[in-house]
Chains A and B, each alone.
Chain A
Amino acid sequence: MKLLATLAWRNLWRNRRRTLITVLAVIFATWLSIAMRGLQLGTYDQNISWALNLFSGYIQLQHPGFEDNPSLHKSFRFTDEMRAQLDEDARVRGYAPRIYADGLVSHMDNSLGTAIFGIDPEVEADVTRFRKKIDNGRMIAARSGEGIVVGRTLLKNLRASVGDTVVILAQGYDGAMGNMKYRIAGAVKTGMAEFDRAAVFMGIDDLSELVSMPGKISVVAVSLHDLHEVDAVAADLNAAVDTSKVRALTWEKVMPEMKQSIQLDNYSGMLMLAILIIVVAFGILNTVLMSVTERFREFGILLSIGMPQKQLVMLVFIETMYIALVGILIGNVLALGVNWYLSEYPITFSGEYAAMMEEYGWLPQMHSVIRLSSFFNTSLAVIMLSLLAAFYPLYRVYKLEPLKGIRYT
């Protein structure tokens, strides 16, 4: 075996240029694939965390019917038992009760549809960040009586300024329309178009009064210390509460579009890399086949002086493995460098591309991550495809008859 390994290595360098070019091709494919995966996966993680921390939370407690029909009637009582359950769970970082309602906000001549969020500002800080996105004025600080905070674009479209009074019209729990005047305390720029354009935040008690729904809330947004514990915590919560009245949904169920658009991007990324590696595999096929047919005379002689056929096949196999492994090794090292660099210094976009990404709720930034599984998986894919590519040449060697080889032209 050691003999074969040495022979294989020396054989490779008999034609230095060809070997180098093939190794270079493998390096190119490996390095590019791992770097791109790093960017893709890093960007996903970053976007997920950002979106969850911005507003939705990692898990939401909702009435069972709320997911399909987010109306006031699908609300629930946030009982002390539920609170205790959350307080006792060390994985929970914080939780915030909220009421969601739809309404019309009017300022002088302008009326616009709005999504109203009743929040408890003190506990929201544990769960989400949107309060920090105040652009103008100040954030409300209590459950009632402090006025409202509107999205920046909404403020502009209403032709209003901080300090103005607006009227909000909304349909209450009992079906009757309620309207009340509120002072605009501030404006937020969350970066997510839907919020900036239509959101109004007010104290949860204020909204409760507006829609005549005392004692009940729409959701509780829960944040955790670790994103990966989401499924476990949700399962535990569901086991502990009365699921006919309330249940815990992970962010994937609350925002399925986000999960799916990530999956879509993920699969199309993998598809492209697969095409890349296949093209390089053809290159390997050509190289190995060429190097094998060139040496048919030599192989014929080796076989006729007694070398077992299988060993000859093994020899060529080891040669191919060397090429693949050296290429993969160097490719991995280079990719590690790139991924590390881009994880510390992410690429930031500006201009039209940035606006477009923000419209879809993505951060205009590409961030890489060093994830061992992508290094491993890509390397595995390259090795497997290289092996597959070498199949035909190996087969030719396997079937080679000594005399045919010696007489090969």
Chain B
Amino acid sequence: MLLTIAWRNIWRNRRRSMIVLISVIVGVAAMMFTDGLSVGMIHQMLDNRIGSHTSHIQIHAKGFNDNRVIGKNIEKTRIVEHAIEQTPEIRHWSRRVVTYGLLSSALSSSGGLIIGVEPEREPNITSIRESIVEGEYLSGAPHEVVIGRKLAEKLQVGIGGKVVGMASALSGDVGSDLFRVVGIYETVSSEFDKTHMFTTLDNAQSMLELDDRVLEYAIIVDDINRVEEAAAQLRRNLSADYEVLSYIDLLPLLVAQMEMYDEMMYIVYIIIGLAMIFGIVNTMLMSVFERIREFGVLMAIGMKNAYVFRMVMIEAFILGVIGTAVGLGLGALFILATGSVGIDLSMFAESLTAFGAGAIIYPKLTMTTVVNVVIIIPLTALVGALYPAVKATRLQPVTAIRYV
């Protein structure tokens, strides 16, 4: 019954309640949209890293991630591949050779990562093949290399141009080979484009005297949320000679940034909530004082203080809940609408690509955003109503009835 009375009380002063509602709705929707945009950007950064090279899980010889020397290679490939096949969550995997080297053209040279991949399987893992803007991806023939546009510009080579790749071979000598540029790719990160060059696995193995040895296994799992389980399963099946690293281990700074962002957003929501509290306190106070005589009568005929208190609190809570619900709906609608089209932030293009995000950001709705809103806003409405509700209960019925 208190609920019905509270509900009707709210609508007795429609304009006032509407204004409070609108302020909550606007605050909530605006915050959600800003949140969605930022979350979208961070997730894009992560997806770009995973999709361009990192993949979900990597397997190396132990110690390779800290010190990427060719000596830390995987010789017993059969064992690792057997372990991979035993793990059902794994959808795709491929072998790679990854090493620091120097790529030189006739005019210029540049250092970076020389990556030997399996041309038929690697496209299941990364999106480099789809990122080709000129020429073609690796066909499997020897002496082919695919480089980023930034690198092609720096080396001043085009399709068909000749480059020499040099890196430390297994024996300690400098291994080198002549390559022809068959394709040029472009990702959202120009830094990546400048430092990652791809050739075939066989070619890299022969250049570096590796025979059949492999330096890295890249793995994509079915469900990214179950990555840690797949990694744990792999660790169980492999000895301590190997390290199994998920993208969380491989991109610690990015993951830390995502977690940090969630914490920060929490604080921002609280600040906006605080700003709303002032409006709610004032509104509830005014609504209580308007009804002092009424409260006096109610208390005189026997309504307990606790009920009066509860009634006022429920009124504020309802306002908070409706405002949150509508604001949530609006905000979600906005995020989902712009989420498919994307927001063009090309005036910040250079810095966005330096972060690895790309010039068009796709806002994203996350559970964290929704939970933050649903918990914080109605709570602030309740907190705002505390003082007025307490004032209502302190009324003396007789004085209240005679209030002018």
Residues of chain A touching chain B, judged by Cβ–Cβ distance below 8 Å, are 17-18, 21-22, 24-25, 28-29, 32, 68-73, 102-104, 106, 108-115, 157, 159, 169-171, 175, 177, 198, 256-261, 263-264, 268, 271-272, 275-276, 278-280, 282-283, 285-287, 289-290, 352-353, 355-356, 359-360
Contact = CB atoms under 8 A, between A and B. Distances in A.
B206 to A, nearest CB: 18
Given A256-B351, A356-B256, A282 B22 contact: yes
A114 B111 contact: yes
Nearest to A267: B348
B337 interface: no
A268 to B, nearest CB: 7
Nearest to B171: A109
Given A104-B102, A264-B348, 14 more contacts: A18-B286, A22-B278, A102-B111, A104-B101, A104-B166, A177-B109, A261-B354, A264-B345, A264-B351, A264-B352, A275-B27, A278-B26, A355-B256, A356-B253
B350 interface: yes
B16 A111 contact: no
Contacts of B354: 257, 261
B71 interface: yes
Contacts of B70: 109
Contacts of A29: 275
Given A25-B278, A69-B156, A110-B69, A257 B351 contact: yes
Given A257-B350, A260-B350, A169 B102 contact: yes
A108 B349 CA distance: 41
Contact of B272 (A21, A169, A276, A356): A276
Contacts of A109: 69-71, 168, 172
B66 to A, nearest CB: 9
Contacts of A171: 102, 104, 108-109
B367 to A, nearest CB: 22
B26 A260 contact: no
Given A21-B282, A69-B154, A111-B100, A275 B34 contact: yes
Interface string B148-183: 000001101000000000111000101000000000
A172 to B, nearest CB: 9
**The 3 A-B residue pairs with the shortest CB-CB distance in the complex, in nearest-first order:** A113-B111, A282-B23, A260-B351
B242 interface: no
B110 interface: yes
A28 B272 contact: no
A261 B351 CA distance: 5
Interface in B221-261: 253, 256-257, 260
Given A32-B271, A72-B108, A279-B279, A260 B285 contact: no
A348 B355 CA distance: 23
A64 to B, nearest CB: 15
Interface in B110-126: 110-113
A355 B253 contact: yes
B316 interface: no
B101 A111 contact: yes
B274 interface: yes
Contact of B275 (A28, A108, A111, A177): A28
Interface string B278-304: 110111011000000000000000000
Given A103-B111, A286-B16, A289-B15, A25 B285 contact: no
A108 B286 CA distance: 80
Contacts of B101: 104, 111, 113
Contact of B174 (A111, A257, A285, A356): A111
A159 to B, nearest CB: 7
A356 B351 contact: no
Interface string B52-82: 0000000000000001111100000000000
A104 B353 CA distance: 26
Contacts of B283: 286, 290
Which of A24, A275, A286 has the most chain B CB atoms inside 10 A of its CB?
A286
B375 interface: no
A28 B104 CA distance: 60
Contacts of A28: 274-275, 278
B34 A356 contact: no
A268 B275 contact: no
Contacts of A258: 351
Contacts of A104: 100-102, 111, 166-167, 174
A198 B101 CA distance: 12
A22 B279 CA distance: 8
11 contacts: A18-B285, A71-B154, A71-B156, A102-B111, A113-B111, A157-B67, A257-B353, A278-B26, A280-B278, A285-B23, A353-B256
B306 interface: no
Given A169-B102, A276-B275, A279-B276, A106 B174 contact: yes
A362 B123 CA distance: 35
Contacts of B260: 352-353, 356
Contact of A285 (B19, B111, B154, B276): B19
B104 A25 contact: no
Nearest to A271: B34
B107 interface: yes
Contact of B279 (A73, A111, A112, A282): A282
A103 B172 contact: no
Contacts of B279: 25, 279-280, 282-283, 286
B31 interface: yes
Nearest to A17: B285
Contacts of A112: 100, 111
B370 interface: no
Contacts of A271: 34
A261 to B, nearest CB: 4
A111 B279 CA distance: 64
B90 interface: no
B22 to A, nearest CB: 7
Contact of B108 (A73, A169, A355): A73
A272 B100 contact: no
Contacts of A18: 282, 285-286
A355 B256 CA distance: 10
B179 to A, nearest CB: 15
A263 to B, nearest CB: 6
B106 interface: yes
B64 to A, nearest CB: 12
Interface string B1-40: 0000000000000011001101100110011001000100
B104 A177 contact: yes
A264 B348 CA distance: 7
B19 A278 contact: no
A9 to B, nearest CB: 19
B272 A286 contact: no
A339 to B, nearest CB: 18
Nearest to B31: A275
Contacts of A264: 345, 348, 351-352
A262 B176 CA distance: 42
A282 B69 contact: no
B23 A22 contact: no
